[in-house]
């Protein structure tokens, strides 16, 4: 299939509410199923060998306290991991929320706060529930204080960056711009997760669970946002990306 044909199918799906809903729902089901399988394997201890092998593969054989690669790569790992930290994500969420508040897009602001806030609650509950110990094979390259499963940095990066990516992508007029924005969102999410394993503060399965849970939660929030903005049956655009003529209807213009 040519790229132009694929782009045409995606544009058609975007304007077909039912098809879009089915695609998003399928992603949620697939991610939830994969997450449940992963949780089952982790609880049974079936992933311990692969977790250990991957973690040790990223360390120097002569010194387990030294991640592979030059010194600047380790420093970059700390920079990448900070992108999924509480300070960075909180600041970004507040900045974007205030931006939409100034535009009087109330539902978009609520969508952002519920998505990120809900993700934090789910991540915290899951950590307390599973109470998995942090990796003890190698020294940690970053300070940690909570349980290991799932990776909170990975999950919140997925929730925040995918949510922001969707909001930004929807207002882009060209398909390649949408692809670029979503690619950046996915790349940031991946970099945060990989950096957690590279620094030795998470098992690889912690990160995989964080990605799956964060992606699934972001998609669940998107479905609810579509239903709220569309009244459950119309073809209006979901939060964040409608033309000016529909933004007023979407964001409850009587509140302006």
d(CA 116, CA 114): 6
As given in the structure block, the two tokens for residue 69 are 């690669």
d(CA 63, CA 147): 26
Selecting among 140, 145, 153, 176, the annotated active-site residue is: 153
Contact indicator for 215, 31 with CB cutoff of 8 Å: yes
Least Cα distance to 254 among 104, 147, 126 occurs for 104
Strands (E), 11-95: none
DSSP state of 46: T
d(CA 63, CA 28): 41
Selecting among 15, 202, 233, 237, the annotated active-site residue is: 202
Known catalytic residue at 233: no
Please tell me whether residue 121 adopts helix, strand or coil conformation.
helix
d(CA 35, CA 29): 10
DSSP state of 132: P
As given in the structure block, the two tokens for residue 213 are 């849970």
Known catalytic residue at 15: no
CA atoms within 13 A on the CB side of 52: 7
First to last CA, the chain: 46
Active site residues: 153, 202
């Amino acid at each position: 299939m040519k790229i132009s044909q694929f782009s045409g199918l995606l544009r058609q799906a975007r304007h077909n509410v039912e098809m879009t809903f089915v695609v998003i729902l399928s992603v949620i089901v697939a991610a939830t199923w994969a997450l449940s399988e992963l949780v089952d394997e982790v609880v049974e201890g079936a992933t311990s060998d692969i977790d250990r092998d991957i973690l040790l593969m990223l360390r120097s054989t002569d010194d387990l306290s030294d991640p592979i690669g030059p010194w600047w790569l380790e420093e970059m790992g700390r920079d990448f991991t900070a992108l999924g930290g509480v300070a960075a994500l909180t600041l970004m969420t507040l900045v974007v929320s205030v931006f939409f508040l100034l535009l009087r897009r109330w539902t978009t602001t609520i969508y952002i706060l519920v998505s990120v806030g809900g993700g934090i609650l789910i991540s915290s509950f899951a950590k307390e529930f599973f109470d998995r110990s942090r990796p003890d094979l190698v020294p940690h390259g970053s300070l940690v204080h909570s349980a290991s499963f799932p990776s909170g940095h990975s999950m919140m990066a997925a929730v925040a960056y995918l949510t922001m990516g969707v909001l930004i992508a929807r207002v882009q007029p060209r398909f390649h711009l949408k692809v670029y924005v979503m690619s950046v969102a996915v790349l940031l999410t991946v970099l945060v997760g990989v950096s957690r394993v590279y620094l030795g503060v998470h098992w690889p399965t912690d990160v995989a669970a964080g990605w799956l849970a964060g992606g699934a939660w972001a998609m669940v929030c998107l479905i609810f946002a579509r239903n709220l903005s569309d009244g459950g049956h119309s073809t209006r655009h979901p939060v964040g990306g409608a033309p000016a003529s529909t933004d007023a209807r979407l964001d409850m213009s009587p509140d302006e």
